[in-house]
Amino acid sequence: MAVYLHEEDLPADALAPGIVAVDTETMGLVTRRDRLCLVQIADGRGDEHLVRFARDSDYAAPNLKAALADPARIKLFHFARFDLAAIHHYLGVWATPVFCTKIASKLVRTYTDRHGLKDLVRETTGKEISKQQQSSDWGGAVLSEPQLEYAASDVRYLHAAHAVLAERLEREGRTAIAQACFEFLPTRVRLDLAGWSENDIFSHE
């Protein structure tokens, strides 16, 4: 298992075919204001690839974009709503089709309100991950080893979590409704980016 840091794009031969786990790191939580700094991607074979973008990046990244936009690849995210927005706004592609482990967790782990990645990974894989670097500066000239490890760990266990959650969705008869939620995510992101991030347009109010 190794963590590879790449500048501005993913090497053409970095990923095997099939499902990939994806995450992003940005300068903050406001997509249009806080630039995309890092995209993490892993094919589940044991290596994690981190693609870093400079302050003046044009976000060309043809190999990364091709992998993210590939309709034959399912992309695993934890809280896909945020990552899809960052990827679409800065890279200009829709990283679909999607499986969001946070949505899946909320649909089948109804016995808990702890749906963060750390708790999900602990239950589904028995592994412990650290979130200490979650709020660190991802725009610096040099990323520290703890930052790199944190970023890699965010995609390291998503394949295993996906396998558990997919089985539970099927067992509880909730696969179809989960899939409908996943397919709606690009529309939810469009609403977020258009200014309706805090408004529930389906509510009575």
pLDDT, tens digit, for every residue of 108-129? Answer: 999 999 999 999 999 999 999 9
pLDDT, tens digit, for every residue of 29-46? Answer: 999 999 999 999 999 999
- Its pTM stands at 0.96
The CATH architecture of the domain made up of 3-196 is: 2-Layer Sandwich (3.30)
Name the residue ranges covered by the structural domains of the chain.
Answer: 3-196
Q: SS in 3 state form for the chain?
A: CCEEEEECCCCCCCCCCCCEEEEEEECCCCCCCCCEEEEEEECCCCCEEEEECCCCCCCCCHHHHHHHHCCCCCEEECCHHHHHHHHHHHHCCCCCCEEEHHHHHHHHCCCCCCCCHHHHHHHHHCCCCCCCCCCCCCCCCCCCHHHHHHHHHHHHCHHHHHHHHHHHHHHCCCHHHHHHHHHHHHHHHHHHHHHHCCCCCCCCC
